[in-house]
Amino acid sequence: MLAGCFGSPGGSAEATDERISVAFMQPPRSGLNPLSDDAFKLSRLSTAETLVILDADGNALPSLATGWEQTDEHTWTFAIREGVTFHSGETLTAGHVVNSLQHAIDASPVPRILDGTDLTVEATGENEVTLTTHEPDPLLPNRLSSPQLAILDEAAYGDVITPQGYGTGPFELTDVNGIVGVTLERYEDYWGEPAQASGIDAKFVPDGTARAAALRTGEADVAEAIPVGQAASVEAELIHEVPMPRTNTLYLNSESGPFADPAVRAAAREAIDRTAIIESVYEGRADVAEGLLGPAVPWAAGLRENADYQAILDEREAPAQVDGVEITLGAFTDRAELPEVATLLEQQLEAVGFEVQQDVREYQYIEADALDGAFDAFILSRATVLDSGDPVAYYAADFTCDGGFNISQLCEEPVDRAVNAATATPAGEERQRATMLAEAHILATDSAIPMLHERVIQGEQTTLAGAARDPRERILVTAETHLTAAD
């Protein structure tokens, strides 16, 4: 089911003795604690599973829960899959689910997906769990898809939470060698189709040049995040570009300074040559942004053709003529390409009459100033689909009056109204339409100018089949992943 959610080569194959070698980009930061971001490594290795998974459109699908029902606006009941065993041999029950979710609820810090929620969970049957939210939450099933809410055997929760030997996935985590690597073996009693590969050998390789070399020499069957600058050193047939739910955006301060004037913001919007930035800085390996949401959100593009969407954009201010308008442009060095983007933007903006002063620092030293509105313009590479698989939380954080990440200092009643409407709409096509209308209202202010959508380069040997190419970076090696005979 998981492998079918995202583009990947595949085909049926029998279980084999072949093992899959993986070169991960980052080592664990919290000892593979499933309540941290390390949870994404566990899900990418198919060892820990959640109640719910998401398809390519962000719709919730059954996993360890076979179904769910919203009994009132605050209450949801989930049926727990029968016949599932943990790698320890224990049988999954509602009690295990309650235990795992309660540890997440009580965690400090709480997993991002639960931040700001007030959730209670109880077993209401041997294979039934009821969750209650303080406020109506139409996206609760989507929240439960977060890898940080994986369900583990109760024995995993000691003084230190360890997933080793306590997941439910097709691969059992059998050995953890610190920040060097991990070993997994096929779990023969898996509740679904058994893994086709006999195991996984994963190494953590932070250096991008080394990951490219591991792919090039055949040491790795699959390698995460090959740097753009290294792609040319690898055979083209080993390279696969995966659109990411990440947009490189120019945020304009709509509260104070020159960009408080929407016509001046419009002048900046018209000055930007997105294609030139992509070809120069990203070597063509990015997508021109038509909006805030890119190809990694496949339903977005078609909904921009809606007449209501276009009518909102038609209300944008006409560009002003600028001459000698001084602006400050902020960017950060943590993403190596952003200083280069800043230099190109400076040239493009100055070509139409702006005078640009750059301020480029490490992110930890510049974030507070950006959030305080210290810059007229700020370049940000921003994840647009957060842990729920839904972009509305990103809109609320970045573009509403009470948003906690509002670099544009934007506070416009039509935007707040549209984002609130999308927030209250249940998951599905109606929510998607409401989401795109909210995008149109945001773009109509010209407070955020999306420039490009990033891609990640995933390396795979030609003998590897069935690896997932997941824009959300939740899955990689699945039960269907296997090695084939060399050509």
Q: What pLDDT, in 10s, does the model give residues 457-472?
A: 999 999 999 999 998 8
Is residue 180 assigned to a domain? yes
Is residue 445 one of the residues assigned to a domain? yes
Q: What CATH number is associated with residue 127? A: 3.40.190.10
Residue 235 lies in a domain: no
Question: Are 425 and 472 members of one domain?
Answer: no
Do 357 and 270 fall within a single domain?
Answer: yes
Between 5 and 154, the more confident residue is 154
Q: Is the pLDDT of residue 46 over 70?
A: yes
pLDDT at 172 (0 to 100): 97
In a domain, 333, yes or no: yes
- Among 120-129, 192-201, 386-395, the minimum mean pLDDT is found in 386-395
Q: Which residue would you say has higher pLDDT here, 62 or 471?
A: 62
pLDDT surpasses 60 at 6: no
In this structure, what CATH number is given to the domain that contains residue 312? 3.10.105.10
Same domain, 295 and 209: no
Mean pLDDT value across residues 435-463: 96
Q: Is residue 234 part of a domain?
A: no
**Burial label, 430 (beta-carbon count in 10 A; 0-12, 13-18, 19+):** exposed
Residue 397 has pLDDT above 80, yes or no: yes
- CB contact at 8 A, 204 and 184: no
Structure tokens at 217: 């020499």
Residue 157, in any domain of the structure: yes
Q: Is residue 237 in a domain?
A: no
**pLDDT value at residue 32:** 93
Residue-level pLDDT at 386: 66
Q: CA–CA separation, 193 vs 1, rounded Å?
A: 10
Domain match, 50 and 194 both: yes
Same domain? 185 vs 258: no
Residue 428 has pLDDT above 70, yes or no: yes
Residues 255 and 182 in one domain: no
Q: Is the pLDDT of residue 323 over 60?
A: yes
With tokens 């249940």, the residue in question is 426
Q: Are residues 367 and 403 in the same domain?
A: yes
The pLDDT tens digits for 66-75 are 999 999 999 9
| Distance (Å, whole) CA 382 – CA 401 | 19
275 plus 137 within the same structural domain: no
**In this model, does residue 454 exceed pLDDT 50?**
yes
pLDDT, tens digit, 9 for 90 and up, residues 368-380: 999 999 999 999 9
In this prediction the pTM is 0.83
What number is the average pLDDT over the span 225-248?
Answer: 91
In this prediction, residue 443 has a pLDDT band, given cuts at 50, 70 and 90, of very high
Average pLDDT estimate for 250-277? 97
Has residue 179 been placed in a domain?
yes
Based on the fold, state whether residues 196 and 314 are members of the same structural domain.
no
Beta bridge partners of 85: 91
Count the residues in the chain: 487
> In terms of domains, do 148 and 290 share one?
no
310 with 408, same domain: the answer is yes
Per-residue pLDDT tens for 7-19? 544 444 566 789 9
Q: Could you tell me if 122 and 249 lie in one domain? A: no
Structural domain count, the chain: 2
Indicate if the pLDDT at residue 387 is higher than 90.
no
Confidence check: pLDDT of 109 > 90: no
Residue 85: give the domain boundaries. Answer: 3-221+461-483
Nearest Cα to Cα of residue 237 among 32, 486, 453: 486
